[in-house]
Amino acid sequence: MKRPAQLVFIPAPGVGHIVSTVEIAKQLVARDDQLFITILIMKLPFDKLFTNTDPSISHRISFVNLPESHIDTQGLAFTSFIKTFVQGHKTHVKDAVTKLLAESAQAELAGFVIDMFCTPMINVADEFQIPSYLFFTSGAATLGFWFHLQSLHDEQGKDVAEITGWESESIVPSFINPVPAGVWPRVTRTKEGATDFIDFAAGFRQTKGILINTFRELEPHALRSLSDGKFPPVYPVGPLLNLKSDDGHVGSDQSIQKSDILEWLDDQPPSSVVFLCFGSMGSFSEAQVKEVACALEQSGQRFLWSLRKPEPKGKMGMPTDYADVKGVLPEGFLDRTAGIGKIIGWAPQVAILAHPGVGGFVSHCGWNSTLESIWCGVPVATWPLYAEQQLNAFELVKELGLGVEIKIDYNQDSEVVVSAEEIERGIRQVMEKDSDLRARVKEISEKSKKALSDGGSSYSSLGRFLDQI
């Protein structure tokens, strides 16, 4: 009989990383009744403490909120910030795992499963003499891009930060088409950021295996490019989605907001509404908000728009809901669009995408949102903001034919304002009724569900991972 085993998951801070970590933990314990999982949570200064309120989570999954590390990260670029932040939690991780071992003598510690930004924790796993596995929360094409950057630097001696400009293109093995430098993550264009990326990728190679939130039918080319023996074994186990992530407690503000939104959608014709939502960190300047409003009005399209207020410049934090949206919208906009549109703050994204009234999604192309739109069969108009979202948008539009472009190389930190004309064009394209795009998205949506079912590609891949831990 198989002995009980324990895995320790270390996700990067941030909602998107923690959500997909919880989902893979749920899949693993559902498949192996001798497996126990502990998830160690690192809290960003502006985040709330993580509390598990999901009754569907097994008692074999436990959460530990690590103590805050008071380290100076002022003025650091994102990758340096996250690396320093994670490094500062090494002692807390060591203490938590030591305590865990003392309290659960029956379950053997089988390994760490670390997030893509948590490679400094490989050293901690080494101290406990256990293997590390990587959980890559983005797609296979992006994973291949990270490895390619490292190869450019380590094997070809190139200065990655100097490869800039939209007109400059690179052959990246995990992409079919040459990848313009304009869609590379902005952080790679600085020496400091590029060095951090290369260090992370070097850490990936030290792991015993890579779990990735994708499925074979979505990214066949990218996954083939990662199976040539140069990398640790890759296990595509997605799409890992929390389809009930936006279920608030009955009577809570979120639950009431959700009911109100879904009731409004119930009154709309099938596939008639374009949904605009830009993720937990997505927000725009007032000038950009006005262009979006003009585009929606000119298009005449029914719309549901999640409009969030940015933090003041220079302050780190999450966007919030506006107390009154009138001040940032063109005068009279709400009156003129009252019959066809609804503006909301927080959005129950999965429930909205799954609603038959929704026919298109204007998205920042975060990987979780991308997988949710595919699962629900909703085509995407791509408007990436930060991180690897430009790569995701490029892949969706140019590689997979599952989206249309609004502004594929847009960056949230730039002063560029996307015109109402560009936005309107993207909205019209994504909402086209009987398009080839819509048919392709429906087809891959069905394949995403088959991948997770018994005998499907991701189901089998997860089984192979469990067999070797």
For residue 142, give the nearest of 173, 169, 164 by alpha carbon. Answer: 173
Task: Identify the H or E element spanning 343.
Answer: strand 341-344
pLDDT over threshold 60, residue 314: yes
Q: Which residue has the higher pLDDT, 415 or 145?
A: 145
Q: Are residues 115 and 40 in the same domain?
A: yes
> In this structure, are 414 and 464 located in the same domain?
no
Query: Exposure of 462 by Cβ count < 10 A (0-12 exposed, 13-18 middle, 19+ buried)?
Result: buried
Cα–Cα dist 381/286, whole Å:
21
What band does 134 get if pLDDT is binned at 50, 70 and 90?
A: very high
Identify the three-state secondary structure at position 463.
helix
Is 247 contained in some domain?
no
Query: 178: which strand partners?
Result: none
User: Is residue 14 predicted with pLDDT exceeding 90?
Assistant: no
Considering the domain architecture, whether residues 79 and 205 belong to the same structural domain is answered as yes
More confident residue, 335 or 19: 335
- For residue 27, give the 3-state DSSP assignment: helix
In a shared domain, residues 201 and 277: no
Distances (CA, A) of 126 to 49, 59, 121, 349: 28, 28, 9, 40
> pLDDT tens digits, residue range 418-448?
999 999 999 999 999 999 999 999 999 999 9
Across the strands, what pairs with 115?
Answer: 135
DSSP type of residue 123: H
Question: Does some domain include residue 351?
Answer: yes
**Do residues 49 and 84 touch, judged by C-beta distance below 8 A?**
no
Alpha-carbon span 154 to 216, nearest angstrom: 29
Q: Which of 311-315, 373-377, 410-414 has the lowest mean pLDDT?
A: 311-315
Give the model's pLDDT for residue 450. Answer: 99
- Where are any strands of DSSP class E within 158-214? 169-170, 179-180, 210-212
Do 184 and 327 share a domain, yes or no?
no
Residue 362, in any domain of the structure: yes
Mean of the per-residue pLDDT values of the chain = 92
Smallest CA-to-CA distance from 24 within 219, 242, 233 is with 242
Residues 226, 262, single domain; the answer is no
How far apart CA 363 and CA 385 sit, in angstroms, is 9
Helix ranges (H only) for 248-348 are 253-266, 286-299, 333-336
Long-range CB contacts (< 8 A, 24+ apart) of 328-331? Answer: 328/286, 328/289, 328/290, 329/289, 329/290, 329/293, 330/290, 330/293, 330/294, 330/297
The answer as to whether 248 is a domain residue is no
Reply yes or no on whether the pLDDT at 174 is more than 80: yes
In the predicted structure, residue 341 carries a pLDDT above the cut 80: yes
User: Do residues 108 and 100 lie in contact, with contact meaning Cβ atoms separated by under 8 Å?
Assistant: no
3-state secondary structure of 358: strand
Q: What pLDDT score does 403 carry?
A: 98
Q: Which backbone phi and psi does 10 adopt, to 5 degrees? A: -125, 90
One domain, residues 303 and 376: yes
8 A C-beta contact, residue 180 and residue 166: yes
Tokens of 13: 């801070």
- Spell out a b/e string for 372-399, using b for 16 or more CB atoms within 10 Å of the CB, else e: bbbbbbbbbbbbbbbbbbbbbbbbbbbb
Please state which of the ranges 105-119, 245-259, 372-386 shows the lowest mean pLDDT.
Answer: 245-259
- Let me know if residue 287 belongs to a domain: yes
Distance CA 441, CA 453 (A): 19
Decide if 372 contacts 352 (C-beta within 8 A): no
Question: What is the model's pLDDT at position 168?
Answer: 79
Is the pLDDT at 165 greater than 60? The verdict is no
Output phi, psi for 437, to 5 deg.
-55, -50
CA dist., res. 435 & res. 300, Å (int): 19
Cα 108 versus chain centre, distance:
31
Indicate whether 82 pLDDT > 80: yes
Same structural domain, 457 and 355: no
Question: At residue 225, what are phi and psi to the nearest 5 degrees?
Answer: -65, -20
Q: Taking the CA of residue 189 as centre, how many other CA atoms within 13 Å lie in the half-sphere pointing to its CB?
A: 14
Q: Flag whether 235 is in a domain.
A: yes
In the prediction, which pLDDT does 248 show? 56
Q: What is the pLDDT of residues 353-405, one digit of tens each?
A: 999 999 999 999 999 999 999 999 999 999 999 999 999 999 999 999 999 99
Give the count of beta carbons closer than 10 Å to the beta carbon of residue 251. 7
Number of helical H runs and strand E runs in the chain: 16, 17
Residue 45 pLDDT > 70: no
| Out of 207-221, 224-238, 241-255, 347-361, least confident range | 241-255
Position 46 scores a pLDDT of 61
Q: Report pLDDT for 411.
A: 85
**pTM score over 0.85:** yes
Only one residue has tokens 């950009």, namely 288
- Looking at the domain assignment, is residue 456 inside a domain? yes
Task: Quote the pLDDT of residue 2.
Answer: 74
Residues 305 and 231 in one domain: no
The predicted structure's pLDDT at residue 249 = 52
Same domain, 432 and 286: yes
CATH of the domain at 201: 3.40.50.2000
Across the range 67-75, mean pLDDT stands at: 78
The residue segments making up the domain with residue 328 are: 253-447
Q: For the chain, how many structural domains are there in total?
A: 2
**Cβ(118)–Cβ(11) below 8 Å:** yes
At residue 344's C-alpha, the angle toward residues 415 and 13, to 5°, is: 65
Spatial separation of the C-alpha atoms in residues 104 and 438, rounded to whole Å: 51
The pLDDT of residue 1 is 47
Task: Give yes or no: residues 257 and 136 share one domain.
Answer: no
| Judgement on whether residues 436 and 457 belong to the same structural domain of the protein | no
